[in-house]
Amino acid sequence: MKKILALVLSVALIFTALFLAPSPVANAATEEELRQEIERLDDEIDKKEEQLEDLADKKDQQKEYLNTLQTKIDSVEKKVSNLEKQIQVIDNEIKTYENQLKQLDNEIDVISDEITVTANEIMITQNNISNSEDMLAAKLRASYINGKESTLKILMSSNSLSSFLTRLEMMKRMSEEDKRVINEFKDQVVKLSKAKVELEKKKEELNTKQLSVEEMKAKSVEKKKELVVKQNEYSASVTGLEEDYAEVQKFIADLDRDSALYKDYIKNLEAEKLAADKEIERIISEYQATSKPMNDTTLPAENADPGENGGNTQPTKPPYTSNESWAWPLGNASTKISSGYGNRDASVSGWGWHGGIDIVGKVYGYIYNKPIYASRSGTVIAAIWSNSGYGNYVVIDHGDGFSTVYAHCNSLSVTKGQYVTKGQHIANVGSTGNSTGNHLHFEVRYNGAKQDPLNYVKYPG
């Protein structure tokens, strides 16, 4: 409703500049930058609220009041958008911490197993050293006992050459065995020393990892607390935004329908509708540019949106038209179609060509805030907070040339880039944007061109 009010208030150039100018933090890369921008927007919102209080009781300044209200809405919309981004940043950090914790836990398990293996090796080595010590002690005792007998005497006591050679070989083997036992003992001692050093290193590494785990857990807890604060701030901002939307809607509803102001409002609805259409077409076109639809044949002209000039747009033919792969976007809620696809009286609605279907409750007021569900699975390519045109709306691309639009929502439950499944809750019914009451405006598009939704979704009756 941004451009509408701008036209109503004769400040079209100002509002157009506000609407078309890119958000200064649209590409904010860090949580700190987002936080600073939110603080700036808070200050701006506070100032506008003070101005609104000053203007509230001054009827002759009604236009200025609405101008200030719209500016405030612009700031709150930007704040909501930045809070969404900040929440996503914090959520990603929490996921990173959780992944790092899992990795650290796995590393700790590996190190613990290595410590167990090393400790067992140390125990075995110590047993081997003990056995070697016993063997060496026995040999030393034997050597001591026989220490007075010289080698020459032992050999010379042989009574034959054969005996001499036998004793010589035995003494040689005993000497080699002694050397082997001594060398083995030395090797075991060295191995034990290295194993103990390795064990201490692994224990130190384990301790470091455990400290990292505690530090990571503490960071994760703090981030989760911060996330709750931001989610609460987001909810409060959304509530305030909805109240501001309602205030604008009430002003329009209270206008005398014979007044020039109201006629100007109706006159400009179509222009704003076309602007909103083009924005959605751009979003769909940019996203689908990376993914070619499955079929290149031509759709029959009667199924196409005639567009702003009344000429058929000739979109490509959908690969199928079965109702089985689509779901009614309002689930089992008691609904009826208040306005179908095609031409309707622009003097009443402000919308000449109606490119979707409007779904309302069978009981007045019943539909408000009812959940809206994804008609098919796909990727959310837009989740827009706006008080103009389609109001708050969601666009889902289904990956085969089809996309669906859910407009005038009271609140949104998904964010851009999120993958949703058929039947997943994506938003709630409202009356934001150019809307005369609570309803869901539902569109089906193929390669950006509007189709009759009832060719795809089955009205539950």
CATH number, domain of 355, equals: 2.70.70.10
Task: Compare 161 and 217 and report the one with higher pLDDT.
Answer: 217
206 assigned to some structural domain: yes
Give the chain's domain count: 2
Q: Are residues 58 and 158 in the same domain?
A: yes
What's 302's DSSP letter? Answer: G
**More reliable by pLDDT, 232 or 47:** 232
User: Residue 313 domain-assigned?
Assistant: yes
Transcribe 162-210 into DSSP letters: HHHHHHHHHHHHHHHHHHHHHHHHHHHHHHHHHHHHHHHHHHHHHHHHH
Please state the rounded mean pLDDT for residues 235-243. Answer: 81
Instruction: Judge if 233 and 373 occupy the same domain.
Output: no
pLDDT at 28 over 50: no
- Which pLDDT does position 444 carry in this prediction? 95
CA torsion angle for 29, 35, 37, 42 (degrees, to 10)? 160
Q: What are phi and psi of 289, to 5 degrees?
A: -60, -25
What pLDDT, on the 0 to 100 scale, is given for residue 303?
A: 42
105 within domain boundaries: yes
User: What CA dihedral angle connects 88, 92, 98 and 99, to 10 degrees?
Assistant: 150
Rounded Cα–Cα distance for residues 320 and 316 (Å): 12
Instruction: Name the phi and psi angles at 87, rounded to 5.
Output: -60, -40
The reply to whether 243 and 318 lie within a common domain is no
Domain region containing 66: 1-254
Residue 458 falls within a domain, yes or no? yes
Rounded CA-CA distance 231/358 in Å is 31
Pairing of strands 449-451, 402-412: unpaired
Whole-structure pTM value:
0.49
Question: Would you place residue 440 in the very low, low, confident or very high pLDDT band (cuts 50, 70, 90)?
Answer: very high
The verdict on 303 and 186 lying in the same domain is: no
pLDDT of 316 > 80? The answer is no
Q: Are residues 250 and 379 in the same domain?
A: no
Q: Say if residue 323 is in the same domain as residue 190.
A: no
The answer, yes or no, to whether residue 184 has pLDDT greater than 60, is yes
User: Is 135 inside a domain boundary?
Assistant: yes
Domain annotation covers residue 266: no
Q: What pLDDT shows up at residue 79? A: 84
User: Are residues 100 and 224 both part of a single domain?
Assistant: yes
Q: In three state form, how does the secondary structure of 331-376 look?
A: CCCCEEEEECCEECCHHHHCCCEECCEEEEECCCCCCCCCEEECCC
Q: Are residues 11 and 70 in the same domain?
A: yes
Asked which of 2-16, 186-200, 264-278 is least confident by mean pLDDT, the reply is 2-16
- pLDDT of 301 above 60: no
Residue 24 has pLDDT above 60, yes or no: no
- Give the highest mean pLDDT range of 164-178, 286-300, 376-390: 376-390
Does residue 241 sit in the same domain as residue 388?
no
The residue to which tokens 């078309």 are assigned: 20
